[in-house]
Amino acid sequence: QKEVEQDPGPLSVPEGAIVSLNCTYSNSAFQYFMWYRQYSRKGPELLMYTYSSGNKEDGRFTAQVDKSSKYISLFIRDSQPSDSATYLCASFAGGTSYGKLTFGQGTILTVHP
Amino acid sequence: DVKVTQSSRYLVKRTGEKVFLECVQDMDHENMFWYRQDPGLGLRLIYFSYDVKMKEKGDIPEGYSVSREKKERFSLILESASTNQTSMYLCASSLESLGNEQYFGPGTRLTVT
């Protein structure tokens, strides 16, 4: 079993829709959670970063972590065609992990006009 | 802005060739990583390094080696390329004091024929 599981999709939504992207993880030591966005033929870029449980909002994006159920979510409101990309969740434990992240498989999102 | 550069965007090599992929970062980051990315499998860690001349195996090190002689440069070596090493290779770097956010290069699409 992978330590971080993510539904690869693909997910296709109309412009303006609310998008929900989800991951589950199995390692109880994970404390830091990230969402990366990767456009076609580019490297991933950090989109959201949260520590422990709770919500974090940044514009149209909300990241949510529920440590009790080991569930990580990213919500995109008023989705735009420019949001079309692959979204990767990632986690790490902190401490002496040397910054090693564990990634989910990535979800391919297409927002059509 | 952090910049991570990779020596080639596209590379075609023959089976059995020795292949060098170079990665350079310009922000004095201590941690550097090599991943490969395949459809449906997400990012898989090959090797990482937390200091000059220090290296650790990731999840799929077989068939690969690495070199870090200078802090800014991390090389991935395919000793004898095989067709199952055809993939997208991504380099990343991070700084522990900055929360371990990983900054990625644009990737090298390697095809082994």
- What CATH number has the domain bearing residue B107? 2.60.40.10
By Cβ distance, the residue of A8, A46, A98 closest to B31 is: A98
Dump pLDDT digits (tens) for A34-71.
999 999 989 999 999 988 888 999 999 999 999 999 99
| Maximal C-alpha separation, chain A | 45
Q: Does residue B66 surpass a pLDDT of 80?
A: yes
Q: ∠ CA B82-A4-A91 to the nearest 5 degrees?
A: 105
Our CA-based measurement puts residue B14 at a distance from the nearest CA of chain A, in whole angstroms, of 23
| Contact assignment for B42 to A32 by CB distance below 8 Å | no
Q: Where are the domains of chain A?
A: 4-112
Class for the domain spanning A4-112 = mainly beta
Q: ∠ CA B4-B85-A90 to the nearest 5 degrees?
A: 50
| Contact assignment for A43 to B43 by CB distance below 8 Å | no
Q: Does residue A25 surpass a pLDDT of 90?
A: yes
pLDDT of residue A23: 96
Counting the structural domains of chain B, the total is: 1
Dump pLDDT digits (tens) for B26-63.
989 999 999 999 988 889 999 999 999 899 999 999 99
